[in-house]
Chain A
Amino acid sequence: MTDLAINTDLARQILTGFIKSEITRAGFTRAVIALSGGLDSALSCALAAQALGAENVLAVRMPYKASSADSLAHAQLLIDQLGVQSETIEITDMVDALIARDPDMSKTRKGNIMARARMIVLYDRSEDFKGLVVGTSNKTEILLGYSTLWGDMASAINPIGDLYKTQARQLARDMNIPAPIIDKPPSADLWAGQTDENELGFTYEQVDQLLYLLIDQRYLPEECVEAGFEKTFVDKVVTRIRCNQFKRMMPIIAKVSNRTIGYDFLYLRDWGT
């Protein structure tokens, strides 16, 4: 087993510095975060509160009628602990209005609608609260594409996108995120009983080990098999990473001019700041 442990003091220093720097140089002082009751959003919220001050963070809970009651309660635990501002905005009406047009739609479609409805609410709160949206996607889910494009992936800055799920869990523990949030099985909570690990077909512990070799250590798939991973597992993960590249990119632009955004018009977002 590769040790994916991180120095949490150093991680916290870099990530809170990142949040503070990137929000203030964009001309803001505040952040909004979708707080699901799960570990990743709890961690992003805690980092933002530490970086900006709790009073400058708005945690938004956006339950759907099928969301678990625990999710709301766990989010509340964190809101109380951090002292951040909070709002609860039900998405049931707006989601059901769309689902009613095609009641037999798949669970995936419904889940995508919920994720994107939350994004709409969150960006509306962003404008009103004058705070940037802080992302909550970890490296594992970004690599696996286990997320909704323009939904839960949407954010202005993401402090935890280079931490694997197991590393996010370690940092969350270090930051005293309430135990029920850390200990429960990770879930997108789009329907009752859903868990990430059931849906993916493997555990985060397992896949993080493999992803670390493939991505960080640049192992070839066959070297991962030599290192002891099942070939079917390696193949499945490698395919997922490749097939989900589109979720990790801005839309590709067809080049016709001499200078094209994304190809030869190249500036960081921090340009001029």
Chain B
Amino acid sequence: MKLNLALAQIATHLGDVESNLEKHFDFIKQAKAQNADLLVFPELSLTGYVLQDIVPTVAHHPHDDDPVFKHLLQASQDLDLVVGFVDEDSRHRFYIASAYLSGGRVLHIHHKVYLPTYGLFDEGRFFAWGDSIQAFDTKFGRVGLLICEDFWHASPPYLLWLDGADILLFSSASPGRGLNDNEKLESARWVERVNKSYASLFTSFVAHSNRVGYEDGLNFWGGSTMFDPRGELVTQAPYQTEHLLVSSLDLGLLRRTRARLPLLRDERTGLAQRELSRIIASREEGWKGHND
């Protein structure tokens, strides 16, 4: 089975959902013209990234009667979509979110579970922390969504793998940093290295949709990638410029790779759970001692 996967490496307007939605439809049209089955947009693709006090004014909830999502849900009749947005829950907490839309329905919403609040990042000040990491079924197999800092930590991709995801879809708004004499920024090299590692360790497909453009002095570096279950780079978008990256993924590689390299079969989840329980218990014991 083949999956014609597309990544929309776009630049966004900060806080201007209407013009960003137009951009989404531009890329949806192009992706359809190239027979894409699934199109993945970057983190916060409907809003822009450094939102700060804009957050409450650009939030949407994926639903038929939402003025933004009704159009996107309609478009998902033709091809599956992953879009990035600010989700507001019924109790008015705001999340950095990705939604998987298919056949006019919302299959899954992921709330970012790791909000970087250090260095140039200030997400924890403006957003609520997601509290769940779950894979879900699509017509192409079981999929997992993560957003940027989520995959700077090893546990979210690991949990998705154990939850059955064979296709990991990552989205980012990654600010470029670390210019030295290398032809790539340090931030780009780091992300590419870990994406390749996840594909290798989990013998899974790993696609990363990263945005481009600027917000004040920040540049977003793009360079979106797809890695196959052998850890090989399938294709990569150029750096720093808008691009629609489309590639046909041979899903049969999952079977062939795992037949020779049964890392998933041999993964000792019970052992991991026992050791985690012990580690957590001993830490709690340590804290108790500390408090005494």
Contact = CB atoms under 8 A, between A and B. Distances in A.
Contact of B215 (A10, A162, A265, A268): A268
Contacts of A266: 52-53
Contacts of A25: 13
B216 A17 contact: no
B171 interface: no
Contacts of A14: 176, 179, 219, 240
B219 A18 contact: yes
A22 B180 contact: no
B185 interface: yes
Contacts of B219: 14, 17-18
A270 interface: yes
A164 to B, nearest CB: 11
A270 B51 CA distance: 10
Interface string A3-18: 1011101110110011
Interface residues of B, number: 24
Interface residues of A, number: 25
B62 to A, nearest CB: 24
Contacts, number: 63
Contact of A272 (B15, B52, B179, B181): B15
A204 to B, nearest CB: 18
A70 B50 CA distance: 45
A268 B176 contact: no
The secondary structure that dominates the B interface is loop
Given A7-B183, A10-B183, A17-B219, A272 B53 contact: no
A268 B50 contact: yes
Interface in A1-60: 3, 5-7, 9-11, 13-14, 17-18, 21-22, 25
Interface in A234-271: 264-271
B100 to A, nearest CB: 29
A273 B181 contact: no
Given A17-B240, A18-B219, A21-B214, A267 B52 contact: yes
B182 interface: yes
Contact of A18 (B50, B179, B185, B217): B217
Contacts of A270: 14, 214-216
B261 interface: no
Contacts of A3: 180-181
A77 B14 CA distance: 40
Q: Which 9 A-B pairs have the closest CB atoms?
A: A266-B52, A21-B214, A5-B181, A268-B216, A270-B14, A266-B53, A14-B219, A268-B50, A270-B215
Given A5-B181, A10-B185, 15 more contacts: A7-B180, A7-B182, A14-B240, A17-B219, A18-B219, A162-B217, A264-B53, A266-B52, A267-B53, A267-B54, A268-B216, A269-B216, A270-B14, A270-B214, A271-B15
